[in-house]
Amino acid sequence: MTRAFRLLNVFARPGEPFSGNPLAVIEDDGGLDTETCQALARQFNLSETTVVSPGEPGTDARVRIFTPTIELGFAGHPTLGTAAVVAGRAGLDHVVLGMRAGPIPVRFDEGRWTLTANPAQVTTAALEVGDLAAMLGVHPEEVAGPAVWADSGLRQLLVELRTGDAVRRARPDAPLLRRLAMTDSGEALVYAWAWTGPDTVEARLFFSEHTAVVEDPATGSACANLGGLWAHEGRRGLRVVVSQGAAVDRPSLLHVEVDTDAVVRVGGLVREVGRGLISVGA
């Protein structure tokens, strides 16, 4: 028994086909159970693998998202990459994907796939600046202020640093990351970011995998949370380009918009780099 899959790079840079965040999409689950879906994600060993099945009324497909160790209710680059596959098969330029976090609309426009994020819940984190600095391996004076928890479908700790250089020099401490930033998803998730211009941001996302710290090349859920933070602060009419992934040799570009109604959208370039069949039978 086999299942068709696609390999894609999401939030890729123009002209750089192997930039962005890799994703595997199982095109049709065909009744696969959760244990098998999780095993497939371990087999691909990418940051996320998605499994597609027919959608409920009001959606074009149901999508489950798996890391090599857990299932997530929402993640950005899996949403965009899966939307490109689902829409491409149906000849559409927009789809609604049903996820555990709710229906997520995704549209192709201006050469990018763009999702409309759920409103984020934002709260100030009860963490000292010194602890945040030690967790990220930076100087306390490089932390711009209190960190926040933000959740537009995946809860993460957002830590603003004062310069892009501080973001690039960050060297997270694994035990502190797990102690200070553990989430209900079973992972510690920390997003370090800094303004590098009036409409540009440098960012890195660190997450725990067992006892190790792993860095994500491009994190659409974090951009959704960052846009949610800006909306929470009353900012409107923003169009920001986020650079991520250079530290792990997967340079990526993510586009974040907060419109005049505080609606947050996250978009990027999706490239297919391969397809095939994987055996799921004995």
CA–CA distance, 268 with 279 (Å, rounded to integer): 31
Q: Please, where are the H alpha helices in the chain? A: 34-44, 76-90, 129-136, 164-169, 174-181, 220-232
10 Å CB burial of residue 154 (0-12, 13-18, 19+) is buried
CA separation, residue 157 to residues 39, 97, 103, 146, 163 (Å): 28, 26, 24, 11, 18
CA–CA distance, 217 with 124 (Å, rounded to integer): 26
Catalytic residue among 27, 35, 48, 142: 48
Catalytic, 202? Answer no
3-class DSSP state of 162: coil
CA separation, residue 4 to residues 73, 99, 126 (Å): 23, 21, 46
Residue 123 neighbours by CB under 8 Å, 6+ apart = 148, 149
Which residues form the catalytic set?
48
